Structure 1
Amino acid sequence: MLYLYVTRHGETEWNVQKRMQGHLDSNLTAEGLLHAELLGKRLASVEFEAVISSPSVRTMQTSEKIIGDRTLPLKKDERLKEIHLATWEGKTHDEIKAMAPNDFDNFWNNPLEFRNDPGESFYDVKSRVETVIKDIEKTYQSGNVLVVSHAVVIKTLLMICKNNTLDTLWDPPFINGTSLSIIKIQNGKMDLILEGDTSHKDEVLGHAD
């Protein structure tokens, strides 16, 4: 039996500025780094076979903070990168709305119709997510694997896990920075155990017991 512990990178400078990142990058904020450390503490007792991360700077920074002093294999996989958004990358939401209002609306409200050539569609992301999960399952038939990725990739993975279609992609919950989802995989069947949980952040808010 294989368990995937899936998390999104911590808050970044561009997240704060409401800029689309895609394949471009920005560094984690102090808060993003802290939340990744707190997730690392939460997962300290979990024995991981490996950590598999998107190669983006923000996900690698998050992975390293979660791993901390542990000796764990940290592997990069291009298929875990965020959706490629072409000319949108680095621009704010308001700038994108002004330049491509229909496409921006489709991105959030009609994923089936979203296109942004030469970037990716949600269908493209779904295809690469399916292949990377199959490969992880072949490599690690049992144990725990930590997967560090991005909002669209994780939402796509959870959608696949639920046997839902792309039109439901943005159904709640939203995947916040360092939120934790856990998926059990057995004989090719995926079961969602936990989705988008951020209880480790309570320590920052002074709510920890």
Structure 2
Amino acid sequence: MTKLYLTRHGETEWNEKGIMQGWGDSPLTELGKNQAKWLGDRMKDLHIDVIYASPIGRAFNTAKIVKGDRNIPLITHDGLKEIRIGGWEGLNQEEMKSLSEENYYNFWNVPSKYIPTGNGESFYEVKERAFEAINEILEKEKGKTILIVTHTITLKSYLTALENRDIDTLWDPPFIKQTSLTEINFKEDGYDMPLVACMEHHEYAKKEFNEFK
């Protein structure tokens, strides 16, 4: 059996301001670093053979925090990058909407009709890229336990492809919150998914913080 854990990076400064990042980047906030630490604490007693991360700083730095001082290989893979959003990169929601209200609506509601600007990618392209990248990792690391640290749309695109769903279901619940944990077990006869976007470690951390405040 091959066990795959999937997570999203911690909160960033641009997340906090509602700015689109795409292939751009901004530093993890203190909360973002804590979110990564909470996930690291949750996973510290779980055996992990290898960690793969998007090379974009927010994901790679989250992976480093989750890894901690454990002797686990940490490998970057370009196929795990977030959707490339071209002319929208660095803009906030209102600025994107002002460029094209219809395209903005389609991005969040009808991904099949979203038209990328500049050198951006379509949702179809990200779906194909993410599925191909993760399948490549699964084949290379067959029989191992793998952690992948990536981005919301990349992760959601992979799940959409894995479950053979239409691209317009991409934003269906659950939402992939920061450092939420998804677990997939691949067996000879298929796969099962015991965890999807699990946030239990956030609740534990919140309770602990309140107790010692």
TM-score range, shorter chain: over 0.9
CA distance in structure 2 between the partners assigned to 1:93 and 1:190 by the alignment: 37
**Which secondary structure does the structure 1 equivalent of 2:145 belong to?**
strand
Moved more, 113-122 or 168-177: 113-122
Aligned counterpart, 2:205: 204
**Which secondary structure does the structure 1 equivalent of 2:182 belong to?**
strand
TM-aligned CA deviation for residue 9 of structure 1: 0.1
CA deviation profile, 1:72-115 (whole Å, cap 9, x unmatched) = 10000000000000010110011100112111110011011111
Contact 1:126 1:156 survives alignment (8 Å): yes
Q: Are 1:155 and 2:160 counterparts?
A: no
Misfit runs of 4+, over 4 Å:
none
Amino acid at match of 2:168: D
CA distance in structure 2 between the partners assigned to 1:17 and 1:115 by the alignment: 24
CA distance in structure 2 between the partners assigned to 1:6 and 1:41 by the alignment: 16
CA distance in structure 1 between the partners assigned to 2:31 and 2:127 by the alignment: 30
Contact 2:127 2:160 survives alignment (8 Å): no
Aligned counterpart, 1:76: 76
Q: Are 1:63 and 2:63 counterparts?
A: yes
What is the TM-score normalised by the length of structure 2?
Answer: 0.94
Task: State the aligned residue count.
Answer: 209
Q: Any residues of structure 2 matched to 1:99-114 within 5 Å, and which?
A: 99-114=99-114
Contact 2:13 2:26 survives alignment (8 Å): yes
Contact 1:81 1:149 survives alignment (8 Å): yes
Aligned counterpart, 2:165: 164
Aligned counterpart, 1:47: 47
For the structure 1 residues 154 and 166, does the alpha-carbon distance in structure 2 shift closer, same or farther, using more than 3 Å as the test?
same
Aligned counterpart, 1:145: 146
Gaps of 5+ in 1: none
CA deviation profile, 1:102-151 (whole Å, cap 9, x unmatched) = 11110011011111132000100011112112211211111210000000
What is the TM-score normalised by the length of structure 1?
Answer: 0.95
Q: State the identity as a percent.
A: 38
TM-aligned CA deviation for residue 187 of structure 1: 3.4
CA distance in structure 2 between the partners assigned to 1:100 and 1:73 by the alignment: 43
Aligned counterpart, 2:13: 13
TM-aligned CA deviation for residue 194 of structure 1: 0.8
CA distance in structure 1 between the partners assigned to 2:81 and 2:137 by the alignment: 15
**Which secondary structure does the structure 2 equivalent of 1:178 belong to?**
coil
TM-aligned CA deviation for residue 157 of structure 1: 1.5
For the structure 1 residues 92 and 12, does the alpha-carbon distance in structure 2 shift closer, same or farther, using more than 3 Å as the test?
same
Q: Are 1:92 and 2:83 counterparts?
A: no
TM-aligned CA deviation for residue 191 of structure 1: 2.7
For the structure 1 residues 154 and 10, does the alpha-carbon distance in structure 2 shift closer, same or farther, using more than 3 Å as the test?
same
CA distance in structure 1 between the partners assigned to 2:208 and 2:156 by the alignment: 28
Contact 1:161 1:190 survives alignment (8 Å): no
Gaps of 5+ in 2: none
For the structure 1 residues 31 and 170, does the alpha-carbon distance in structure 2 shift closer, same or farther, using more than 3 Å as the test?
same
**Which secondary structure does the structure 1 equivalent of 2:4 belong to?**
strand
Contact 1:12 1:26 survives alignment (8 Å): yes
CA RMSD across the alignment: 1.5
Contact 1:82 1:152 survives alignment (8 Å): yes
TM-aligned CA deviation for residue 29 of structure 1: 0.4
CA distance in structure 1 between the partners assigned to 2:27 and 2:46 by the alignment: 27
